[in-house]
Amino acid sequence: MGTLRISEIFLSLQGETSRVGLPTVFIRLTGCPLRCGYCDTAYAFHGGTTMTLGAVIETASRYRTRYATVTGGEPLAQGNCGQLLKELCDRDYSVSLETSGAIDVSQVDGRVSRILDIKTPGSGEAAKNRWENITHLNARDEIKFVICNESDYEWSVRQIDERRLADICPVLFSPSYRDLPATQLADWILRDQLSVRMQTQLHKQLWGEQPGR
């Protein structure tokens, strides 16, 4: 069985997506090829511990929850991530994958809910968006935009309209934690009557930016 470089494995409440509030075991992989300006997990760029997939599964199984989220960094940057996702599904976890959208998602196990983060101009990494990933998504997946300012908001609305994203799967708008007041984003969404789900990162409301929460 292969290995993965793991930053941390912990139990928390899911703070985002349609699973918000659910007790979830998070498996955070080390490393990311992107450097988004608003990144809140830069500590996962380096370091971590090399673990076998079996050890990762065993550690995750210590927590009594059926929900598992594989995140990063960018988890798909490690070749054995796909096998980890499959192993979790085989053990009857309800699995979600948080991915930057810069790496091919077409080979991810079909039982996994792929949370695809489309990078806005405000992230500084919009050029890394792998737009062909959208063609591989289905109704069990979700698309996320992190909004830094009004320009990001307008850009994101254009992507939804031009690419008909709301017809593919749920679309999530999240205010950049340090850059945009949540009330401002809420006002824009209501003004324009967008078909999106706004989210405000429950874990940060509860615990701030503590690692492992």
Residue-wise pLDDT tens digits, 53-65? 999 999 999 999 9
| Position 60 in a domain | yes
Name the residue type at position 67. Y
> 3-state class of 53 per DSSP?
helix
Residue-wise pLDDT tens digits, 34-50? 999 998 899 999 999 99
Give me the pLDDT at residue 103, please: 97
| Position 64 in a domain | yes
Torsion angle in degrees (nearest 10) through CA of 121, 16, 73, 130: -50
Distance CA 184, CA 22 (A): 26
- pLDDT band, very low/low/confident/very high, at 199 (cuts 50, 70, 90): very high
Distance CA 58, CA 96 (A): 18
Name the residue type at position 184. Q
**Are 23 and 65 within 8 A, CB to CB?**
yes
| Position 156 in a domain | yes
Overall number of domains in the chain: 1
| Position 40 in a domain | yes
Q: In the structure, how many helices (H) and strands (E) does the chain have? A: 5, 9
Residue-wise pLDDT tens digits, 130-186? 999 999 999 999 999 999 999 999 999 999 999 999 999 999 999 998 899 999 999
Give me the domain span that covers residue 7: 3-207
- Of 85, 88, 140, the C-alpha closest to 116 is 140
Distance CA 56, CA 88 (A): 10
Q: What predicted TM-score, i.e. pTM, was given to this entire model?
A: 0.93
Name the residue type at position 49. T
CATH number at residue 106: 3.20.20.70
| Position 212 in a domain | no
Residue-wise pLDDT tens digits, 82-134? 999 999 999 999 999 999 999 999 999 999 999 999 999 999 999 999 999 99
| Position 128 in a domain | yes
